[in-house]
Amino acid sequence: TKYSAVTFIPKSLFEQFRRVANIYFLVVACLSYTPIAPFRGATAVGPLVLVLLVTMVKEAIEDWRRKQQDIEVNNRKTKVFQDGAFRHTKWTKLRVGDVVKVEKDEFFPADLVLLSSSYDDAICYVETMNLDGETNLKLKQSLDVTSRLQDDDSFRGFGAVIRCEDPNANLYSFVGNIEIEEQQQQYPLSPQQLLLRDSKLRNTEYVYGVVVFTGHDTKVMQNATSAPSKRSKIEKKMDGAIYVLMSILVLISVIGSVVFGLATKHDLVDGRMKRWYLRPDNPDNIYDPNNPAVSAALHFFTAMILYGYFIPISLYVSIELVKLLQALFINSDIHMYHEESDTPAHARTSNLNEELGQVYTILTDKTGTLTCNSMEFIKCSIAGTAYGRGITEVEKAMAKRNGSPVISDFELGVEDFHQSEGRSAIKGFNFRDERVMDGNWVHQQHSGVIEMFFRLLAICHTCIPEVDEVTGKISYEAESPDEAAFVVAAHELGFTFYQRTQAGVYLHELDPSSGEQVDRFYKVLHVLEFSSARRRMSVIVKDEEGKTFIFSKGADSIMYERLSNSESTYSEATQKHINDYADAGLRTLVLAYRQLEEIEYAKFERKFTAAKNSVSADRDELIDEAADLIERDLILLGATAVEDKLQKGVPDCIDKLAKAGIKIWVLTGDKMETAINIGYACSLLRQGMKQITITLDTPDIIALEKGGDKGAINKASKVSVVQQINEGKKLINASGNESFALIIDGKSLTYALKDDTKAAFLDLAIACGSVICCRSSPKQKALVTRLVKTGTGKVTLAIGDGANDVGMIQEADIGVGISGAEGMQAVMASDVSIAQFRFLERLLLVHGHWCYSRISSMVCYFLYKNITFGVTLFLYESLSTFSGQTLYNDWSMSLYNVLFTSLPVIAMGVFDQDVSARFCLKYPMLYQEGPQNLLFRWSRLLGWMLHGVGSAVIIFFLTIASLKHQAFRKDGEVIDLSILGATAYTCVVWAVNMQMAITVNYFTLIQHICIWSGIFLWYVLSLYLATTTKINQTNSLTIFLTKLTIPLFLLPCRYLFLIIYGAITPSFSTTFFMVFSEALGGAPAYWVVTLLVAVAALIPYFTLAVVKTWFFPDYHNKIQWLQHAAKHADPEEELGVVLRQFSVRSTGVGVSARRDAKLVRTNSKVIHADSSSQSQATVELT
């Protein structure tokens, strides 16, 4: 936790005073106990204490919640080996080197090295949901040497030394070794033996492990770096406005001090007193005619305190409160709740709400974000023959795009449906082909290859089967959904993988010769795991006949390099199929195998083991090298195609976002073809859009790569990329209104992101309607995000779902995590999490816009109300020779910000809606007010400030001119300071609250209560308090506070105050005693003046507002008109026209843009979709 009971107060206070404004108020509070203060100390301290208290309570609650979690975690118990037996011990007491026993469904208390488990082969299954959110089980296995330690007693006398790396954040690596005392031999440790804290033991009775990292050293804690704290642009600008106010404050303080100094000096000239009633002959420091400079200097501080009302003390805390409530509204929006996964939206950091309304660029991940990351095995190509009749979403979208009805799909679909009704519910499998299903593949021409293909699917993976004991159904735990899809496919095709042990995998196979199901065992010798760098995985197995095979699968570009040169009969056909599949938006993998010679395997084994056992830093490289040795000269089997399904509503959402003028960049690790197809499917690309492709897959570069001269490659690549960027720019400049799409691959991106080229790249990218970066690594994603963020200076939003998106999510101004299938890491790093991409539409267009418009109105209003108040003080000063006398009573002044004007503005910040949600979505263009910052531009801020000055001038001069020196009551009493002050104060409060009533767009009952009830109560309470009389003066403060707090909690009161306060003992309220009940209440002049001033102060704003909305309306004004019109007539017809006029924008992206583009090209007949027509449209620059 951040705080403990002892450190809470100092630490949280320190946090608070990191804000300049709070320091200012602290200094004011201190100074206000010195004689230079214009009012009593308590009145300056009170509001500050209140503001600090509110914030601290908020902090305390948040911290307390964290603490509860910590306590719960720390007090969990686990069994530790002590004095020859395992005893329950608290987690906090764990030390490195302890041997612990963890039982089924328990969390690991620390990072452990697995020694043994209840299984003979010392494997165990862990669930890492807390770490990465993946729900599948992972297999861990201990070293053989320790696997015998299977009962409690075996640990007596067991000793070993573990050497390992220092604590680090890398979850998927662990380097170390273990030396058993008896054997004096070192065994290498790998992540395979490491059990991470916060993961859970599953499907295993118990395990024994040694603690290697505890507490903050554990990998999960190392990973829990607090996300970089982000501040919104509005807040930064708000600080700017505060600085402006500060400078005004200093300026007028200087003016006041100078005038005061001069006036003081003239009071005593040559021993002659001028204002004798001030006793200039008997001066003190503050007023010293002999030494006016000192007095003026001291007065400067007085003035700084007095005009402190320019600085809205409660602004920060109000904004924080408002954002918190806004976040609650976001969390509870039922339209952003995803029924299937039971996930509502969750604003994790509330301080970025308004930033959601200003997004200029969205950078989105593809897999899991645009697509649902549920993979379906849909096609395959074996031995040069393509199987699978399923039609993908992308193909449909493409067909639709080309205008041809998909008749065959429809008919086939229906037929298929009937035929395969029985198993259509199988997740991850959408493969229909009678030629290979139901065992028919044995009759195919290359049945041997097909058999190998299916076997590979069933063996080459890291899935774990789970057999349901009752039904006998097998389900699979897989690291990625593709893998699961493969195993499921193998199962459906007759190669059922049903058991995995430490030694190998068990399969039910269809034996082609006998046609019967046989069980086979494959001994797994090695698994060469998948990594994003290798882009392939291999398994080396020994079958029952003793033959050793290597089975590999991987990306086509990688795998083709590794095929044996001799075997090429169907590699070309396969390559064509792969391209077709990619066109159809499918993920492809190439499958290949090879039978290994004993000698070759032995050689590899040695090298590989040596590499694995090394503890040096280049261990991973060594392993790669060894793997590289064996993964070559493979024999091609074929290719698989897995469909990555688009999420629901994605194209519509993208269309809306595009209409809202938001640029959408897709950053994906996928192949260019796949990315382009997804681009088509979700309307980011369309026919007739010129594609600028930047790639390094050009013959020259490839030729160079073969040469292997790295320097030359770099140079040539860079030249090529720069050239392509420049050509793209030229093309855009040359064309008129066409829209462009930029597609760039990861390799080119490396060069495009170099310091000297990135500006040009950014220029090009900005000029394009949509940008797709494919084959990009997580790092590149983050770099691109940073480039866009810093390059454009506009708000960027990154959305992603996986661990590979964490970089870009943290880098972007706002990170949105999809709380979907791939894991929790993105969500943990994000600022807002939603369940589906399509909710982004509502999040941005509705909540983002609302929060933006609310916060900006709120800040403007805050500036206005404080300036209004401050300027009246200043104006009054000018009539008292800047002596520092306040017009208002001191308590009423200090409560102005925290009590009398705070509630309506908070209500506005939380509830105001300039346009209803429905219309926000209907007119996405409205969103542009945010990115263009129309509602928080300097002119608007300054306008409000000026309005504040104007209001103050009107209020002040009307009040003093109306209530001059004449009697103000029938009984002849005249105005004194307290009465004038109370009247002016009433006028300010009226004017400021009436202004709120004009500003608010959306009057709910809550607003009514906040604004109007207060005005009513002010008068009611004045009378109530008149009855209170003498109270012991010493504890008048406490009495005052208790008196004030009771009504405070009951009612949002401002006016209560006048009366309560007026009636509290005279010693406390001093000049305010009974002012209202005795003097003001019965004076018609008071009421008449109030009415005049309140109305007069509002007329300028109102008139300007009318002129503005009538003749220079902002976009939201127009929509308000439409909304208004819609209520009265049935304007759908008319609205439709208006809608189009408003909405169509030339981003050239999205479904509507596509439709419009199609309307333009009426005469161009579009032919059936295939890859050739696409490449015609593509402008290949390479």
Partner 1 sequence: MNSGDAAGSSSGGSGDAGAPRRASRKPKYSKFTQQELPACKPILTPKWVISVFLLVGVIFVPIGVASLLASNKVVEIVDRYDDACVPSNVTNKLAYIQNSTISKTCRRTLKVPKDMKQPIFVYYQLNNFYQNHRRYVKSRNDQQLRDASKANETTLCDPEKTRDGMAIVPCGLIAWSTFNDTYTFQHNTNNLSIDKTDISWKSDRDHKFGSDVFPKNFQKGPLIGGKTLNESIPLSEQEDLIVWMRTAALPTFRKLYGRIYVDLKENDTITVTLDNNYNTYSFDGKKSLVLSTSTWLGGKNDFLGLAYLTVGGLCFFLAFAFTLLYLIKPRKLGDNNYLSWNRNSAGH
Cα separations in angstroms, 1060 against 982, 1068, 1180: 14, 12, 80
- In the set 372, 653, 812, 945, which binds partner 1 (CB under 8 A)? 372
Distance CA(1047)–CA(536), nearest Å, equals 71
Interacting residues with partner 1 between 471 and 510 (CB under 8 A): 473, 475-478, 481, 484-485, 487-488
Instruction: By CB under 8 A, tell whether 344 contacts partner 1.
Output: yes
Residue 293 binding partner 1, by CB under 8 A: no
The candidate with the shortest Cα–Cα distance to 1093, out of 984, 1012, 995, is: 984
**Residue 367 is labelled as binding a ligand:** yes
Q: Of 190, 181, 172, 164, give the one whose Cα is nearest residue 96.
A: 164
Categorise residue 661: left if φ over 0, alpha if ψ from -120 to 50, beta otherwise.
Answer: left
Residues in a beta bridge with 996: none
Nearest-CA neighbor of 227 among 639, 810, 755? 810
Work out whether 1122 is an interface residue with partner 1 (CB under 8 A). Answer: yes
CB 286 to partner 1: min, Å: 7
Q: Which stretch binds partner 1 (CB under 8 A): 188-196, 392-400, 704-712, 1070-1078?
A: 1070-1078
Q: Which residues of 1060-1075 are buried (b: 16+ CB within 10 A; e: fewer)?
A: bbbbbbbebbebbbbb
Q: Which residue has the tokens 């393509």?
A: 386
Kindly state whether residue 468 participates in binding partner 1, applying the rule CB under 8 A: yes
Sheet holding 160-164, edge to edge: 160-164, 176-180, 185-189
The answer to whether residue 73 forms part of the interface with partner 1 (CB under 8 A) is no
Angle between helices 938-962 and 977-999 in degrees, nearest 10: 140
Q: What angle do CA 234, 236, 241 make, to 5 degrees?
A: 90
Q: Applying CB under 8 A, which of residues 533, 1005, 1159, 1160 lies at the interface with partner 1?
A: 1005
Q: Which stretch binds partner 1 (CB under 8 A): 71-79, 190-198, 392-400, 1116-1124?
A: 1116-1124
Looking at this protein, which amino acid is placed at residue 610?
Answer: A
Among 702, 946, 1046, 1091, binds partner 1 (CB under 8 A): 1091
Q: Would you say 13 or 1006 has its CB closer to partner 1?
A: 1006
Residues in the chain: 1182
Q: Which 10-39 residues touch partner 1, going by CB under 8 A?
A: 38
User: How distant is the alpha carbon of residue 230 from its chain centre?
Assistant: 10
- Please list every residue from 1131 through 1150 that binds partner 1, using CB under 8 A: 1134, 1137-1138, 1141-1142, 1145-1146, 1148
- β-strands 504-511, 496-500 pairing: antiparallel
Q: Are 622 and 608 in contact (CB under 8 A)?
A: no
Q: Which is nearer to partner 1, 2 or 275 (CB)?
A: 275
Burial (Cβ within 10 Å: 0-12, 13-18, ≥19) of residue 1005: exposed
The Cα–Cα gap between 181 and 179 comes to 6
Site string for partner 1, 953-992 (x = CB under 8 A): -----x-xxx-xxxxxxxxxxxxxxxxxx-----------
The binder of partner 1 chosen from 199, 385, 739, 993 (CB under 8 A): 739
Integer Rg of the chain from CA: 37
| Closer Cβ to partner 1, 106 or 333, answer by number | 333
Rule CB under 8 A: choose which of 512, 943, 950, 1066 binds partner 1.
1066
Residue 968 CB, nearest distance to partner 1 (Å)? 4
543: how many CB neighbours lie within 10 A of its CB?
Answer: 16
Site string for partner 1, 878-907 (x = CB under 8 A): -xxx-xxx-x--------------------
Q: Is 111 annotated as a binding residue?
A: no
Is 1095 near partner 1 (CB under 8 A)?
yes
Q: Is 801 annotated as a binding residue?
A: yes
Strands 268-269 and 272-273: antiparallel
Mapping DSSP onto H, E and C, the string for 659-676 reads HCCCEEEEECCCCHHHHH
**Interacting residues with partner 1 between 704 and 733 (CB under 8 A):** 732
Restricting to residues 401-440, which ones interact with partner 1 according to CB under 8 A? Answer: 425-429
| Residue with smaller CB distance to partner 1, 235 or 393 | 393
Given the complex with partner 1, which of 12 and 326 has the nearer CB atom? 326
**Is residue 1103 within the footprint of partner 1 (CB under 8 A)?**
yes
Residues 156 to 215: which contact partner 1 by CB under 8 A? Answer: 202
The C-alpha atoms of residue 538 and residue 551 are separated, in whole angstroms, by 5
Q: Pick out residues in 612-651 that bind partner 1 (CB under 8 A).
A: 645, 648
Query: What is the smallest separation between the CB atom of 972 and partner 1, expressed in angstroms?
Result: 4
Q: Quick check: helix, strand or coil at residue 1095?
A: helix
Three-class SS state of 511: strand
Smallest gap from residue 269 Cβ to partner 1 (A): 11
Which residues ranging from 765 to 804 are in contact with partner 1 (CB under 8 A)? 767, 769
Residues 678 to 707: which contact partner 1 by CB under 8 A?
Answer: none
Q: Say whether 483 counts as a known binding-site residue.
A: yes
Residue position matching structure tokens 């709070």: 22
Comparison of 150 and 792: residue with beta carbon closer to partner 1 = 792
- Take residue 814 and report the two structure tokens written for it: 């706002």
Site for partner 1 in 580-619 (CB under 8 A): none
Is 763 flagged in the annotation as binding? no
Span near partner 1 by CB under 8 A; candidates 393-401, 551-559, 700-708, 1112-1120? 1112-1120
| Residue 669 labelled as part of a binding site | yes
- Phi, psi of 1170, deg, nearest 5: -150, 180
**CB of residue 716 vs partner 1: minimum separation in angstroms?**
32
| Number of residues engaging partner 1 in binding (CB under 8 A) | 152
Region 809-848 residues binding partner 1, contact defined as CB under 8 A: none
Among 704, 1083, 1149, 1153, binds partner 1 (CB under 8 A): 1083
With CA atoms as reference, report the closest residue to 750 among 758, 760, 742.
758
From the candidates 365, 556, 644, 655, give the one annotated as an active-site residue: 365
CA dist., res. 1143 & res. 1061, Å (int): 55
804 is in an annotated binding site: yes
Coil vs helix vs strand at 957: helix
The answer to whether 530 is a known ligand-binding residue is yes
534 known ligand binder = no
Reply yes or no on whether 198 is catalytic: no
The phi and psi torsions of 92 (rounded to 5 degrees) equal -60, -25
| Interaction of residue 136 with partner 1, rule CB under 8 A | yes
Q: Does residue 1028 belong to the site contacting partner 1 (CB under 8 A)?
A: no
Separation in Å, CA 354 to CA 361, 383, 933: 15, 56, 11
In the complex, minimum distance from the CB of residue 359 to partner 1, in angstroms, rounded to a whole number? 15
Which H or E run includes 1159?
Answer: helix 1151-1160
Q: Contact between 1070 and partner 1 (CB under 8 A)?
A: yes
Residue 1017 to residue 341: CA distance in whole angstroms: 49
Rounded Cα distance between 270 and 401, Å, is 97
* 366 has binding-site annotation: yes
Annotated binding site: 365-367, 483, 530, 553, 587, 668-670, 775, 781, 801, 804-805
Annotated binding site for Mg(2+): 365, 367, 801, 805
Q: Which residues are catalytic?
A: 365
Annotated binding site for ATP: 365-367, 483, 530, 553, 587, 668-670, 775, 781, 804-805
